[in-house]
Each structure stands twice: as C-alpha cells, then as structure tokens.
Amino acid sequence: MEPEIRTLVDISESQAALRSHADLTLERARWAASIFQRFDRDRTRRIVDAVAQVAHDNAAHYAAWAVEETGFGVVEDKTLKNQLTSVAFAAHYADDDFVSPVVDEARKMVRIPRPAGVVFALTPSTNPVATVNFKILMALMTRNAIVISPHPGARACCVDAVHTLARAAVEAGAPDGCIQVIEQPTIPLIEEFMASPKTSVILATGGTAMVRSAYSSSNPAIGVGPGNAPVYVDPSADIPMAAKHIVDSKSFDNSVLCTSDSVVVTLPEADDKLRHSLRQAGAYICDEDEVERLRRFLFHERGFNVAAIGRDATWIAQECGIRVPAKTRVLVAPFALVGIEERMSREKLCPVLGYHVAKNRNQALSEARAILRLTGAGHSAAVHAGDPQVVMDYARMVESYRIVVNAPCSQGAAGLKTHLAPAFTIGTGYFGRSSIGENIGPQHLVHWSRVAYNSDAAVHFPDFESVNVGFEGPLPPAPAGGLPHGGRSAAPARATHNGHHSQAGGASGGLDDRAREELRRLIAEEIRNTLKGGH
C-alpha cells in the first residue's frame, strides 16, 4: 500500500476507534439512565445522600491531591469547597423534588419530570474535584447518568474522585454505569462525546474556547463564560469591613474562583481610608514601578501567564522582584484608566487586584460596567455601600446577573456567603452569550411534561390519587458488563490511587464479538469514504 493511503487508513482507524469508545460509553450511560429514571424520590435521595457523604469524607484528601497535581490554590480552601459541594450542597436541595409527578387540581394539570438522560460534563483544572462533586450530585438528584471529562491538568485526582463516587452510588443502589469518567481525555475524543446523538446535554465549565465548542456541538449545552468582577466601594460603606471582605475574597484559594474580585473601583473621598484598611487586612499596595512589573509578568501577547494561576501573593511578588511582608495575602495594583489597553482591567486568576479611583460616582458606575464589557459580561459584580440607592444604581448599571452586596464576592456569587444557589457553574445569560443567567443547579437537568385538561369548568378533571402517575415498577435487569446485548468487559482491572479497581482503558469497558465486528465494519466503511474523498 502506498504511504499516503496508509496515512489515510491510520487516520480513519483512529477516528473510528474514538467514535466507538464514545459510543459504547454513552450507550452504557443511556442504559443506566433508563433504569435510574424509574426510581422514586426516596430511593433517589438515599443515593444522593450516600454519595454526598463519601465526597465530604474525602474532601481533604482530594483537596491536597488537586493542589499537588495542578499547583493551583490552597489545600484548606479547596477542602472547604469540596465539603460545600458535598453534604452542604445536597442539603440545600433536600426539600426540592425533581422526581415525583405533581398533580395541580386548580389548573387541571399533571406535571411529569423528564430527566435529560445522559449528561456530558467537562470540569476545569482550577476547581477540579469541587466541580466533579457538584455535577455528579446534580445528575443524581435528577436521575440522570453522567460522564465526566476532566481537565488534563487535573486528570488523576478527578478520575480517582469519580471512581470513588461511582462506587458509592452503586453501593447505595444506583444503576451501574450512571457515573463514568474519561480516563485519558483528548480533544478529538471529547469532540466525539460532545457531538454524539447519545449525549443529551453538555455541562461545560472551563475556558471560552471549550464552552464555544460545546455550544457548536449540535447538542444542547449549558456553558459559562469568564469572570472579571468589578467591586465598587462607595463612601457610604463600612470601609474597614469592605476591605476585609475584598482581601478575604481575593485570597480565597489564591483567587482561582471565576467569581473573584478583579478590579476595585472607588472615589477620592474613600481612597485613603480604603488603602489603609486594605493594608490592615493583609494587602500590599504596589507603586507604579511594581505595577509595571506585575503587568509584564502576568500578561504576554498570547494572554495571561498560566504560571501565575492560583499561586500566592508572595510567590508572585518574588517572581516580579517586589519585596513584600511575608504574610501578604493580596497584591493591589493601582492604575489610572480603565480600558482595553490597561491589562490590569482584565481577569486575573491569582491574588492580584486592580485598583482604580474614579472622579465621581457616575464615572465609577460607568467604569465598573466597562470592566465587565471588556470581559466577564453577565458573570459577577460586587458593591460595598450603606446607601440602598447606590446599590440599586450599581445593579442597574453593571451587566451582571449576580451583584453581591457587603460580602466577599468570590464566595458570595458562588452562594457560599449569600443565599444564592451554591454553584460552581455560573450562568452568564444573555450578557455573556449563555442560555442561562442564574447559578446552575439540578433544576436545569430536568424538564417537565404537562398533561393539561380542558380548562372549561364543565370538563371533569379526575382524581389521580389512585392512579400511578410515576414510572416506578419492575426494573429491567442490568446487562452484563453494564452494556445491553450481553456486552462483556475484556479489559483487565487495575488499581487506582486508593487501591480500588477500575477497568483499564477508561469508562466504556471491553468489546464483545458483536461490538468488534461492528467496529471493523465502521472502520472499513470510513476508509472507503476517505479514499473516495468523503470524511
């Protein structure tokens, strides 16, 4: 065979193998989802609570692993995030019912919950295991199957965490295959999962390019954009408390949350007191030369310096040749003009905080709006003020769906220091070109069929008390190997980090003879199409 044809054959075989891997994994998930959707609320809740408890018990273990693997963040803060996305997250939705049909006699209607089916979930390297916990529990609450695609930079800790939670779910009665993970994620493989008709919805948390790819996959997608939260400190605020909240927020997990403060905007009459209070709270105020050093270190022609992501303030200062006190928590970088040419106006996933003094309140609000328009539209903003009119003026001005008031922005927008829904996937809505503007929750993974009777009062609406309006009943037996048609696993088991076992090769298991024959057929067909000029 000619070398060029050999290359075409190799490419086609690779594409077919990736498609087969995705197809088998998703088919296993679809089968698990079809069983799961017959569970009642009590049975579902037992699974949710069991998995949440296991996630909570392993919070510190996976926090340390994530920091070691990625180099991002603070173990104690990641432990807290892992805990908040486990038992606390499950408790937040304990009274919500995403499972039981609802009979509405007044409106002569019956609402029947319809889970999405198979959720394909991408997770970031900045908040890896917290996002794994969050998305798995959302899927379980709504009786969906889920396939996790971890960021390659946090692959090992996420794969192990998914296996741990999957075992807990199955032990609690969940169908095998309802939680799976891609053990060796690659862009071509992820694209196969995203484009597959067996994927019901994509939950995308990560960079802009990845989110855009999810939206263009032809499947429904819930994606989020970048943050760049402006924080306005009004003279009417409790300024020492505002400074404490800002430093606590910006230093939390070394500012890898996309809800973290990005630029503080204030007025001349509050400037001196705010700078003093920031120093008291553990911030270092840079001079002009030091700000320029930060600019050169943090930004280059391709964007943000990834080496700085999630590193602490003293490490960044040392890299820039800036001498700071050993307990410095945040570096504050004052600048004169907000705009695209000022790099400090952009998102900074590290404890470096832009600082700008506006001439008056109207200018301050306009510049806060401009900061979000540069990047982060629709995401998060914060205001510290004692005057409620100022709060409302700010809320109307900024193009954000979360405005945190007198609280740390990073924890407040994520629902940890406010009564917003706790979330690690933040909808940016129409401002940020996203389909959802609120904090993502389990309600976004279930739709409702509505059985609607004639509204004419003369038309009888029956008593549904004795009618089975749910899908509970005899469950089909789980197929061998978790796949229908008697699929069996041919891959040997191998030990994971915790000493447990998983199937080699990832989520889908091995191939039976029928599957191998189908794979050979697909490869042959794609080779023929390629040689004819197909794709």
Handedness of CA 92, 102, 43, 183 (dihedral sign): negative
Residue 234 sits at the vertex; the CA angle it makes with 231 and 237, to the nearest 5 degrees, is 105
Residue 207 sits at the vertex; the CA angle it makes with 201 and 211, to the nearest 5 degrees, is 30
Q: Active-site residue 178, yes or no?
A: no
Catalytic residue among 157, 158, 258, 350: 258
Residues 317 and 301: their CA atoms lie apart, in Å, by 21
Is residue 103 classed as helix, strand or coil in its secondary structure? strand
Question: Which residues of 412-512 form beta strands (DSSP E)?
Answer: 446-452, 493-495, 501-503
CB 228 within 8 A of CB 379: yes
Residue 532 DSSP code: T
Q: H-helix or E-strand containing 316?
A: helix 313-320
Tokens linked to 209: 């390019």
In sequence order, which residues have a C-beta less than 8 Å from that of residue 364 and are 6 or more positions away?
232, 265, 266, 267, 358
Identify the bridge partners of residue 304 per DSSP, sorted by sequence position: 299
Classify residue 492 as exposed, middle or buried by CB count within 10 Å of its CB (0-12, 13-18, 19+).
exposed
Residues 227 and 131: their CA atoms lie apart, in Å, by 16
**319, 323, 328: which is closest to 298 by C-alpha?**
319
**471, 422, 480, 465: which is closest to 43 by C-alpha?**
471
Residue type, 99: V
What phi, psi does 382 have (nearest 5°)? Answer: -140, 155
Identify the bridge partners of residue 247 per DSSP, sorted by sequence position: none
Q: How many Cα atoms within 13 Å fall on the side-chain side of residue 129? A: 40
Helical H runs in 58-150?
A: 59-70, 75-84, 87-92, 128-141
Query: With b meaning 16 or more CB within 10 Å and e meaning fewer, what string describes 91-101?
Result: ebbeeeebbbb
Residue-wise DSSP of 440-491: P-GGGGEEEEEEE----TTS-----TTS--S--SPPPPPPGGGSTTT----S
Residue 402 DSSP code: -
Classify residue 106 as exposed, middle or buried by CB count within 10 Å of its CB (0-12, 13-18, 19+).
exposed
Tokens linked to 158: 């996420």
CB 278 within 8 A of CB 332: yes
Report, as residue numbers or ranges, the catalytic residues. Answer: 258
